[in-house]
Structure 1
Amino acid sequence: MMPLCYAEKDRPVTVCRISGPSRVKNHLADLGFSPQSQVTVKQEIAGNLIVEVKGCRLALDAGMARHILVQEAGL
């Protein structure tokens, strides 16, 4: 498992766990980040990410991306 901020660009990963306080977990869940969902990093700009989750592209700052723990898809 690794934080989403370390995922390779254009390589799908699977969300394993969301860490942090409940308000962070709830916010990320509202955006579509839940265990077993697939996420793809599309672009990284100064540590901030553009990601695709559930067919939508979203911008995440590096702090939020650290709360999303992922592993390579299919593992």
Structure 2
Amino acid sequence: MPLLYANPGDKVKISCVTGNPQVKQHLNELGFNEGSFITVVQKVKSGLIVMVKDARVALDSSMASKIIFRTA
């Protein structure tokens, strides 16, 4: 399921990252790697704020939809 559909407070495990190679590399550099755990902090108008590797990261809805997760 795309990360965009996760709820605040959910701790999820990334199953895969989709998109073109540049998008995948960018998300990978931010810490969105297959098998990583992230926590959804807040839903905002433009997307999500998530906690990844002890840092808060804002993702717009386009980027959040490219991250596929399963519940941790």
Q: TM-score range by the shorter chain?
A: over 0.9
What's the RMSD between the two structures over aligned residues? Answer: 0.7
> 5+ residue gaps in structure 2?
none
TM-score, normalised relative to structure 2: 0.96
How big is the shift at 1:47?
4.2
Compute the displacement of 1:11 (Å). 1.4
Report deviation, 1:48.
1.1
Structure 2 residue 42 is the aligned partner of structure 1 residue 43: yes
Indicate the percent of aligned positions where both proteins have the same amino acid: 43
- What one-letter code is carried by the residue in structure 1 that aligns with 2:15? C
**In terms of mean alpha carbon deviation, does 61-70 or 40-49 score higher?**
40-49
Runs of 4+ in 1 over 4 A off after TM superposition: none
Deviation at 1:16, TM superposition (A): 0.3
Which whole-Å CA distance do the structure 2 matches of 1:17 and 1:56 have between them? 20
> What TM-score comes out, normalization by structure 1 length?
0.92
Q: Is the 8 A contact 1:5 1:47 kept in 2?
A: no
Q: State the alpha-carbon separation in 1 of the partners of residues 40 and 61 from structure 2.
A: 12
Contact 1:51 1:58 in 2 (8 A): yes
Whether 1:56 and 2:55 are equivalent positions in the alignment is: yes
1:26-69 deviation per Cα after TM superposition (whole angstroms, max 9, x unaligned): 00001000001001110111141110011110000000000000
Unaligned 5+ runs, structure 1: none
For the residues of structure 1 that align with 2:35 and 2:29, how far apart are their CA atoms? Answer: 15
